[in-house]
Structure 1
Amino acid sequence: MPYEWIEPANQDRDATPPVAELHCWPYRSLPRRDMVLFIGATATLVALPLLTVIGSPVLWGLLPFFLLMLAAVWYALERSYRDGEILEELRLTPDEISIDRHNPRGPDQHWQANPYWVQVALDEKDGPVENYVTLSGNGREVELGAFLTPEERANLYGELRDRLSAARQ
C-alpha cells in the first residue's frame, strides 16, 4: 500500500511520545529500473523500420525525429516521476495532530490542530474523488491521501478514525 503507519519507538520518559505517524505517497506503477527497460524497448521497436534505410540519405532525414521522440518520452516519464514525489506525513500525539505535505514543485504545506477537536470525514460520492478523506480543525479543512485509490482511502479513514479516538483517551 502506498501508505504506512510507523509505530513510535521507545523514547525518553520526559518527551511526549507520538501515538502514531503516517506516511502517504502516490503509487508507482513503473519503477525506475523498468523505465529504462521501457525506453530501450521503445527505441528498439521504433528503430527497426530505420534498418531498411541504412546507407541512404532518408536515414538522416528520419533520425532527428526518432531522437526527438525518444527525448520526449524520456522527458514525459521524468516529469511524471517528479510530479509523483508528493509525501504527506501525519503525526499524532496526545496534544497535537499535524500534517506536512511535501510538494514536488511548490512550497511545503503544514496544518496542525488539537486532536480532541479534529473531525475526520469520508465523502463517499460528493468529494472531488471517491471516498474523499478530510480532517477539519483549527478553522481549516485539509485533504489526506487524495492520490490513493478509493479502497485505500476508505481503509485509511477507518484506521485514522480509530487512532484518533485512541489518542483522545
Structure 2
Amino acid sequence: MPYRWTVQTPTARRLELWPHRSLPRRGFAAFILGTFTLITIPLYPLLGTFVLWGILPFMLLAVGGIWWALERSYRDGEILEVLTLDPETIHLSRSAHKVAQKEWQANSYWVRAEMHQTGGPVPYYVTLKGNGRTVEIGAFLSEEERRSLYGELASALSETRAAHGPDG
C-alpha cells in the first residue's frame, strides 16, 4: 500500500500517503535503454548511408520524448500527504511539486472521516470533516486503497475519541 502508519507516542499516530509508482527508477532506466536498443535495430542496414542521418534525429527525438514524458510523470507524482493524529489535534499537510504546501488542523475529537461512494472526483472519495472545513485525503490512491484507508482512518479517529473525550 502506498501509505504507512507509524506510532510516534502511545497516543499519537502519523500517516504518510504517496502515489503508487508502477515503474520504479531502475525500471525507468531499463525501459529507456531497451527502447533505444530496439529503435536502433532498423538503422543497422543503413549504416554508412545518407538515409541514416535523415532518420536518426527523428528516432532520437522519439526516445527523448519518451524520456521527457516519463520524467514529467515522476515530477507530477511527487505528492506527499502527512496526517498527524494525537488526542488534542489532527493535522494534515499536503506537499506537491511546484505547488504551495496546504495545511489543515482541527480538534481530533470532532473530526469525522467520510467516504463518498459517488459524487466525488473519484469513486469512494475519502474526506475529513472538522473545524468548519472538509478536506480530501488520498484521492490519488486506487479505489481499493481508499476503501482500506477509510476503514483504518475511521478506526483511528474513534480510538482517539474513546480514549480522550471532547475535552482531551
TM-score w.r.t. length of structure 2? 0.93
1:166 aligns with 2:153: no
Q: Quote the residue 2:16 is aligned against.
A: 23
1:69 aligns with 2:62: yes
- Shift in Å at residue 127 of structure 1? 1.4
Specify every segment of 5 or more residues in structure 2 that has no aligned partner in the other structure, as ranges: 164-168
1:100-139 aligned at under 5 Å gives the runs 100-139=93-132
Distance in 2 of aligned mates of 1:126 and 1:151: 17
Moved over 6 A (4+): none
- Shift in Å at residue 18 of structure 1? 5.0
Q: SS in structure 1 opposite 2:14?
A: strand
Q: SS in structure 1 opposite 2:113?
A: strand
Question: Equivalent pairs: percent with the same residue?
Answer: 52
* Letter of the 2:74 counterpart: Y
Distance in 1 of aligned mates of 2:11 and 2:137: 19
User: 2:112 touches 2:157 (CA, 8 Å); kept in 1?
Assistant: no
Equivalenced residues, count: 162
Q: Quote the residue 2:36 is aligned against.
A: 43
Q: SS in structure 2 opposite 1:141?
A: strand
Give the CA RMSD over aligned residues.
1.1
Distance in 1 of aligned mates of 2:82 and 2:32: 33
Q: Quote the residue 1:14 is aligned against.
A: none
